[in-house]
Structure 1
Amino acid sequence: MYGKIGVVGLGYVGLTLAAALARKGYEVHGVDTSPAVREALRAGRVHLFEPGIEEVFAETVGRNVFVPTELPADVDVAVISVSTPVDDRTRQPDLTNLAAAAEQVADWCGPDTLVVVRSTVPVGTSRRVVLPALLAAWGRARLVMAPERTIQGQALRELVELPQVVGGLDDESRQAGIDFFGGLANRVVPVSSLEAAELVKLSNNCHTDLIYSFGNELALIAERHGLDPLEVIGAANLDYPRPDLSKPGYVGGGCLSKDPYIMINSAGGEPGPFLVGAARRLNEYLPVHVANRVVDLLRQVRGGTVGARLAVLGWAYKGWPPTDDMRGTPIATMMPVFRSAGMTVVGHDPMVPDEVIHRHGGEPTSIDKAFSDADAVLVINDHPDYRAIRIETLLGGGGPRPALVYDSWRILDEAAITAAGIRYAGIGYLPYPRTPAPVPAPARGA
């Protein structure tokens, strides 16, 4: 029934959906406002990292995937997947891209086109922002909201395996959405309205932010009392029949760093929400807290920070599944702390190009040099390359070595690091440094 699909916005959400649809045999027409993105995709080059995407585009561009400057008028479905950023200062969602995309779809297509909102939006936005543009041009519309809920690194699989939530303007729209996504996913979950579908997406992401924030809160409390948060969390979870506590860690990315603010906007002010904003503030505070801890510890072990060289491993916002996404990366809020302390920052990330590290204020380095040429090493993400580090091999030559290793994810060999005389720490974990065994004084008269 639906064979010709248009996708408006070829960022992460639109690009992965286009690839998944192409693998299912649909004819996909993707448009984007960026000439560079259009040019790259027409040549089969993908502008972001996601396993499997590059192979799909290399095989399908020019066959059943096309990248025009505007959608053909006869597409059966037009999916709007443009960005809905949050203003850095006001924390209010910016729906400019969404409104522009709705106007474009209204100009390009017609009332028989099923319009799908895929972007994350405040509750009520599909009806308030997208629908009026369609009605003004067509007099009637078929409109659904079907939120994207994939995790980076597993998008192509999850687009098929995760249930696709579909809310419609009316029964006809909802059924059309069910039919469309039924050709992609193993299961479709219909909900009663556009607004219900909008709230589903916000609920998933904000709940994740809340869960992670509690693990971070425990880590901060454990740090204050000289405890190991992983010991506490592990003991609390072991064979306990209630939901597991999350380990501490940074919470970033394109969704979790902005969707809580979209949820807050949806709440409409007093008396709430009570939890979502507090959780987001805590998760945004954590990188700054860690940066200050690194500075404090380096002062203790080195006697100062001016001129100190800090090696940061992991610049993307997460390491597993691997990504090159810098949205919501911890290093962005850490760098001002390091600069004010007079430190030089060098960086490594298997997924992030050198020019991006440069752009964020670092000098590219290697893992080997991080442990031989720096005064301190900060591990920010848990990329498999960092989990595979053999400390004994890196430090076995007897040459220069860092005075401090701050292992945010506790993935390195703590015993090998401390045995080498290096101070070790992690999020919420500041073990007392091992005191070297005293060297016996020579016997009198020797």
Structure 2
Amino acid sequence: MNPHNDPGPVAVIGLGYVGLTLAVSLAREGTPVIGVEADPTVRAALAQRRSVLFEPGVEDLLATLPADRFTVTDRLPDTPVRAVVICVGTAVDPHTRLPDLRHLEAAVQQIAAHLDEETLVVLRSTVPVGTTRSLILARLRERGIARPLLAVCPERTIQGRALTELAALPQVIGGVDDRSARRAADLFSRLAPDQVIVSDLEAAEMVKLVCNAHTDLIYGFGNEVALMAHSLGVDAHEVIDAANLRYPRPDLSRPGFVGGSCLTKDPYLLMHAAGQAGYHPPMVAAARTVNEQVPLFAVEQVLDGLAATGRDAAQARVLVCGIAYKGSPVTDDTRGSASVEVARALRGRVAELRGHDFVVAPERISRAGFSPVGIDDGLTDADAVLLLVDHPGYREVLGHRVLRERLRLPAVVFDMWGVLAEELAGAEDIDYRRLGVAGWTLGRPVAV
């Protein structure tokens, strides 16, 4: 087997947003990478040096990699590799909110038969605290590896800037022992020279969870302010801006949907792990509860606006702009998006539900529950528009003149992030509403 400083191949299991960006980044730095992916569509695209996901720079990088630097297959090679990095998706059950680790269990089952004593196993997937020790370490020992080389190196990049952040962010590393931590540090050294070594597997697992739970919490408070201000007839944006201005302590976040596969999942993984240990974190749970109300609030505002303009919701045509979970940095990831919840809430309550996104493919828009449309067709004779993301393109194409020409007036516009606030606030022919502001009906404040 390769000694730890031998430039032997590294296998990356799972070539989604996390695995693919890591794989091409390692390959760029000179490490031969074997990508292991179960989906034949993904394998076929990557074999042609195309990506099926949107991440700036990935396809350009794929095109530059030598054929033997990055190969894709459906299983690990029989000959043990230098390291195996597990990047498969983890989830929570949508009904019970309990961890769903089936993909991780399948990956561990596969790799356990292809390792030897010198193969480093790195978990990059997000899991409840204690999973690496109870699942992966136990399985490797069952396979007869007495002292497995095992580490947790969580991914913490933001979609849309993943390649840049992989090199710039500190890489947290926790090993089952010092030898494992050193091997993991060596693996990531050329890619992420800024490293934070923690004491064990559990600390590294928890770093990722608390990072995302904290993000959920601070954004959740901004949304709580918005919902309170709406009820009180106050402009939440004015309150937040005034509170933050030249004052060192609040740093309040502006309101907006909190989504994505991580922020909608990781708090539940953290709550599960803590609950198993006897502690039930109320702040983590409360933030998630508040943030999950936001898409339903948007739906309520549109239905209320339709009623205020004299429209029968059952006959209304509704355009949803922004099917991905965020607009900036740009991504095509629809996991944990507001649009999915909006579609679920409006399906069967309106006559037509149209969907537009600048980067999400039409077939994926359709799977999310919408009729995919171009922006002009989507606006034509629509009774309401839900702008769910802050993609800068919408500021350019959704001007007041265009809306007046295309929509069936009077119309309703709900703007999650206030992208069109200057353009539409006070418009006499559009009931313009946004998160954290009481709203306007035909140029007049909406009663609260």
TM-score by length of 2: 0.93
What is the DSSP-based 3-state SS (H/G/I as helix, E as strand, rest coil) of the residue aligned with 2:227?
helix
Q: Which of 27, 34, 57 is residue 32 of structure 2 equivalent to?
A: 27
* 1:355 Cα deviation from its structure 2 partner: 1.5
Aligned residue runs from structure 1 range 191-206, under 5 A:
191-206=198-213
Q: Which residue of 2 aligns with 1:258?
A: 265
* One-letter amino acid matched to 1:10: L
1:34/1:431 CA distance change after superposition, 3 Å? closer
Q: List alignment gaps of at least 5 residues for structure 2.
A: none
* 1:417 Cα deviation from its structure 2 partner: 5.9
Q: Which residue of 1 aligns with 2:108?
A: 102
Q: Which residue of 1 aligns with 2:176?
A: 169
1 CA distance for matches of 2:406 and 2:288? Answer: 44
1:396/1:122 CA distance change after superposition, 3 Å? closer
2 CA distance for matches of 1:399 and 1:251? Answer: 29
1 CA distance for matches of 2:191 and 2:407? Answer: 56
What is the DSSP-based 3-state SS (H/G/I as helix, E as strand, rest coil) of the residue aligned with 1:202?
helix
* One-letter amino acid matched to 2:111: V
1:398/1:247 CA distance change after superposition, 3 Å? closer
Which range moves more in the overlay, 139-148 or 299-308?
A: 299-308
1 CA distance for matches of 2:406 and 2:320? Answer: 22
**For the pair shown, which has the larger CA radius of gyration, 1 or 2?**
1
* One-letter amino acid matched to 2:356: H
What is the DSSP-based 3-state SS (H/G/I as helix, E as strand, rest coil) of the residue aligned with 1:419?
coil
* 1:396 Cα deviation from its structure 2 partner: 6.6
Which range moves more in the overlay, 407-416 or 122-131?
A: 407-416
- Partners of 1:84 and 1:98 within 8 A in 2: yes
Q: Are 1:116 and 2:122 an aligned pair?
A: yes
- Partners of 2:124 and 2:154 within 8 A in 1: yes
* 1:340 Cα deviation from its structure 2 partner: 4.1
2 CA distance for matches of 1:61 and 1:203? Answer: 38
Aligned residue runs from structure 1 range 104-253, under 5 A:
104-137=110-143, 138-253=145-260
* 1:243 Cα deviation from its structure 2 partner: 4.3
Q: Which of 404, 414, 420 is residue 406 of structure 1 equivalent to?
A: 414
- Partner deviation per Cα, 1:90-126 (whole Å, 9 max, x = no partner): 1111222222212222211211011101110111111
Q: Are 1:296 and 2:304 an aligned pair?
A: yes
2 CA distance for matches of 1:297 and 1:30? Answer: 50
Q: Which residue of 2 aligns with 1:328?
A: 336
1:231/1:300 CA distance change after superposition, 3 Å? same
2 CA distance for matches of 1:283 and 1:398? Answer: 32
- Partners of 1:371 and 1:401 within 8 A in 2: no
- Partner deviation per Cα, 1:112-167 (whole Å, 9 max, x = no partner): 01110111011111111001222222222111111000000010011110000000
Q: List alignment gaps of at least 5 residues for structure 1.
A: 437-446
Which range moves more in the overlay, 142-151 or 355-364?
A: 355-364
- Partner deviation per Cα, 1:369-406 (whole Å, 9 max, x = no partner): 44442011110111121122362441475985451111
1 CA distance for matches of 2:263 and 2:283? Answer: 14
* 1:7 Cα deviation from its structure 2 partner: 0.5
* 1:306 Cα deviation from its structure 2 partner: 1.6
Q: Are 1:93 and 2:99 an aligned pair?
A: yes
- Partner deviation per Cα, 1:62-89 (whole Å, 9 max, x = no partner): 2300112322324211101111111112
1 CA distance for matches of 2:6 and 2:58? Answer: 22
1:2/1:13 CA distance change after superposition, 3 Å? farther
Q: Are 1:65 and 2:70 an aligned pair?
A: yes
What is the DSSP-based 3-state SS (H/G/I as helix, E as strand, rest coil) of the residue aligned with 1:311?
strand
Instruction: Give the aligned CA root-mean-square deviation in angstroms.
Output: 1.9
Figure out how many residues of one structure are paired with residues of the other and give that number.
Answer: 436
Aligned residue runs from structure 1 range 2-21, under 5 A:
2-3=6-7, 4-21=9-26
1 CA distance for matches of 2:407 and 2:131? Answer: 60
1:397/1:12 CA distance change after superposition, 3 Å? closer
Q: Percent identity?
A: 47
2 CA distance for matches of 1:417 and 1:389? Answer: 17
2 CA distance for matches of 1:307 and 1:11? Answer: 40
2 CA distance for matches of 1:129 and 1:281? Answer: 30
1:435/1:352 CA distance change after superposition, 3 Å? closer
1:255/1:412 CA distance change after superposition, 3 Å? same
What is the DSSP-based 3-state SS (H/G/I as helix, E as strand, rest coil) of the residue aligned with 1:45?
coil
2 CA distance for matches of 1:240 and 1:2? Answer: 53
1:350/1:402 CA distance change after superposition, 3 Å? farther
* One-letter amino acid matched to 2:288: R
TM-score by length of 1: 0.93
* One-letter amino acid matched to 1:84: T
- Partner deviation per Cα, 1:283-325 (whole Å, 9 max, x = no partner): 1111012111211111111332121111111111100011110
1 CA distance for matches of 2:406 and 2:363? Answer: 32
1:399/1:274 CA distance change after superposition, 3 Å? closer
1:159/1:415 CA distance change after superposition, 3 Å? closer
1 CA distance for matches of 2:173 and 2:196? Answer: 6
Q: Which of 338, 344, 356 is residue 348 of structure 1 equivalent to?
A: 356
- Partners of 2:424 and 2:430 within 8 A in 1: no
2 CA distance for matches of 1:397 and 1:128? Answer: 61
Q: Which of 366, 370, 373 is residue 381 of structure 2 equivalent to?
A: 373
Q: Which residue of 2 aligns with 1:394?
A: 402
1:92/1:161 CA distance change after superposition, 3 Å? same
* 1:59 Cα deviation from its structure 2 partner: 2.3
1:268/1:375 CA distance change after superposition, 3 Å? same
